Structure 1
């Protein structure tokens, strides 16, 4: 007798296959934008700080180069959206933590990512530092930066960290996803360490020494503040929002944003309404059975399961798509750009970046289908009166600078 998890996964695969088979030719990504916005977007270096590019392929098969009809991101559509580089999320969900499978899952996901990048040559290449960004751009390849989201090891073992670095990992969240590490508090769990433990500071120092991006998204406020103080290199929050706009733990308060930027850091803005649009967030919260970040049921749901059984449990949840919401509460792209503008007014145009979180669950702005529609941002910024220089900084220049400094 099949379990419901297996049936759900098989039904998902059937839907995906049917959708892929019936997919029509894509609509040109820039068709709905002005000639000026289209030209600017195509000529800009577009660097996305957070993409769930391979979750679907890991759990359901296929390749990053396959155009699919389910989800918000694949390489063909990304290229239509003007993407030049992106942080490829090596996502290790909390479900792998209770059985202490987190390190094994991190290794499996990195192995899968490296295989996918290799198969995608000559369209895609792995970027380990700023020099690689230059080289890959000259070779007309999209650059992928491996970024752990979740825990590479709950204990923060430095030997494991060094091994992952040797494999090509160049960015990692200090805290786990929505679950405390044994050395750092996460945003959405009860405080355990009041930030970093002494070993947590060792992790920060080792990441500095190795030349890794320190990613403070999903960190508790106390963790974030202590990481910024401890790091000798710029710190990046790859996919965030502003707490002054929506008062939730995953958003950054003004004082911490200023602190991050004072040390050369950059904030990537998550493109969904969860973070950026209180009206839609309120509607979504009212229509969910649990909060978006609830992890309380995980230990019971995963008790006694093998890592492969957890794979079966997780498969139907990917890709993580945004909720369908009524038009009357849906965010407009100008609402989202308005949040970016607030940050610029607070900390300047050299500190803001794109951190879309495509296929990671965001409910996109009204009319935005997927990564193909990134030029809608460029159009909205031109409407707001931004200079082309400011827009280029946001689309990729600022993140490129911070990544180059962090990995030098």
Structure 2
């Protein structure tokens, strides 16, 4: 983490008049009805933790660092269709983060359509967020590795525009370059649903079709243009195919391990090893399947044992708002009954939002006596290594 955070009090869209230029909503607070949880440290551990986050670059590989409405059930779709998602600048300034991969609204981005992932919706979401960030003195959009270090040195946060699926490029390969021109620096191959690039994780019928021929071309184009690739939410065969054809290291920005206790909802050892074999990095996902940060870190340790400390980082995939209510609304919208395991915990203790997550992850590593070198790698060093080669 860089010097003291230089947050200036800016709130999203302060350059406009709420109620006159756009519709305002009651947005979530830091904690949505739950108590904060901070991992306790001794005085010596606290000093060590503070020194480490001051000396090391800290990067989230996958989060949604913005506010959702306080009343998710009542206001979500109106909030989305307003087309102005509010980044949580103040709360982010209270974290150890120097940079965060911002995954935008993704499948929720039904700003103009009734369903997300349409080209116009993605362009609106990415560009509107870029306009807002441009008006903030604390946050800056990240276009290259140097931007991360510039933000760190200035006490700011670098926001990395990222998307979880390439569905909106349809069959237009050049749209990869258009997205890059709009600032997008990381993109997933598929979300749960299949698209023109390959088979999605939740879209396997009798067999897993893997990556398409167009998907191979898209991977090569992303390699050439300098856009990082993620296989999160891709089917097992799609993930393995991407690992085979890519010429650069790749990410799984947020993953849990099947054999670490997630069963078919997680990634197989074969997939995780294949990602690491590209030189890539796996971000560990927070999920309401997990009760607390300790079970989360069990997955971290499992993946470290499997692929090595050089190929693991953190991609919590959390937000400011009631995550469980959000999942309920999405389940209702898609007519899907979510598995009981998904809903068994209202939140993950110690990881409820990006602020709590990125204050507790370094604390857990120090409390469990990881070396300074290894902590530096997993907090951001491994991600920077991949970005140096990809970007």
Structure 2 contact 57–152 (Cα < 8 Å) conserved: no
Match of 1:86 among 69, 78, 100: 100
Over aligned residues, Cα RMSD in angstroms? 3.2
Note closer, same or farther for the CA distance 1:28–1:42 as it changes in structure 2 (3 Å cut).
farther
Paired residue for 1:334, among 287, 294, 302?
294
What residue number does 2:135 align with?
A: 119
Provide the secondary structure at the position in 2 that maps to 1:37: helix
Offset, 1:114:
0.7
Calculate the TM-score normalised by the size of structure 2. Answer: 0.74
Where in structure 2 are there 5+ consecutive unaligned residues? 1-22, 70-78, 325-345
Matching residue of 2:260: 245
Q: 1:111 to 1:152 in 2, by over 3 A?
A: farther
The one-character-per-residue Cα deviations of 1:65-97 (angstroms, maximum 9, x if unpaired) are xxxxxxxxx222222121100101133317858
What are structure 1's unaligned runs of at least 5 residues?
1-11, 65-73, 278-329
Determine if contact 2:60/2:314 at 8 Å carries over to the other structure.
Answer: yes
Task: Say whether the 8 Å CA contact 1:41–1:375 is kept in structure 2.
Answer: no
Number of matched pairs:
326
Q: Which residue is equivalent to 2:349? A: 366
Are 1:92 and 1:102, in contact at CA under 8 Å, matched by a contact in 2? no
TM-score normalised over the length of structure 1: 0.71
Shift of 1:354: 1.0
Distance 1:56 1:394, change over 3 A: same
Quote the residue 1:56 is aligned against: 68
1:136 aligned residue (132, 151, 154): 151
Rounded to whole Å, the distance in 2 between the matches of 1:250 and 1:28 is: 27
Correspondent of 1:344 among 291, 301, 304? 304
| Partner in structure 2 of residue 69 of structure 1 | none
Counterpart of 2:296 in 1: which secondary structure?
A: helix
Q: Residues 184 and 193 of structure 1 are in contact (CA less than 8 Å); yes or no, is this contact kept in structure 2?
A: no
CA distance 1:364–1:269, shift in 2 (3 Å)? farther
Is the alpha carbon distance of 1:400 and 1:200 closer, same or farther for their aligned partners in structure 2, counting shifts above 3 Å? same
Q: The residue matched to 1:343 in structure 2 has which SS?
A: helix
Contact 1:236/1:265 (8 A) holds in 2: yes
- Other-structure match for 1:221: 236
Q: Distance in 2 between matches of 1:273 and 1:134?
A: 33
The corresponding residue for 2:336 is none
